[in-house]
Amino acid sequence: MTSTGSPLRSDVVSLEPQGLKGIACRVCSRRSFPERPLCPHCGSDAVDNVILAGRGRVTSWTIVHQAPPPLQTPYTLVTVDLDDGVRLLGAATVAVEIDDEVAVELFTLKTDSSGEPLWWYRFRGTEENR
């Protein structure tokens, strides 16, 4: 799927393996998003770069009606608790309800100046809530 191009932000999206980049702290055992040199929970620099869980549950959502380009409105913005405990925001491709299961999906947000795709993330529904 993502054989060409690059991530929109290299600290957020991984193309190989595909997923969202984060850290796992060796001191407090918590995970965080995105990749960074220090744990935001305990301040330790004893962190490992990891690919975060690819699924989670919707904890809140709203419909966005005004946004800057290249985002097209309206779209659904969701807060998701990933299965490994990380909470993050992202756009959803389907109508959602609280506690729906969603999966991380990489997609081309735009292209760079040479025409190569720049990849970003969003959430799609799973078989459980279709």
Domain boundaries, the chain: 6-129
CA angle 26, 23, 64 (to 5 degrees): 145
CA angle 92, 60, 109 (to 5 degrees): 25
What Å distances lie between residue 11 and 19, 63, 88, 117, 123, CA to CA? 11, 27, 14, 17, 18
> Concatenated DSSP letters for 58-109?
EEEEEEE----TT--SSEEEEEEEETTS-EEEEEESS---TT-EEEEEEEEE
d(CA 56, CA 75): 19
Burial class (CB in 10 A: 0-12, 13-18, 19+), 130: exposed
> Does pLDDT of 127 surpass 90?
no
What is the distance between the terminal CA atoms of the chain, rounded to a whole angstrom?
23
pTM for the model = 0.88
pLDDT at residue 72, as a whole number: 87
Average pLDDT, the chain: 93
Dig out the tokens for 125 from the structure. 């529904």
pLDDT at residue 129, as a whole number: 57
> Does pLDDT of 2 surpass 70?
no
Residue 118: CB atoms within 10 A of its CB come to 15
Dig out the tokens for 38 from the structure. 């220090």
pLDDT in tens, 69-120: 877 899 999 999 999 999 999 999 999 999 999 999 999 988 999 999 999 9
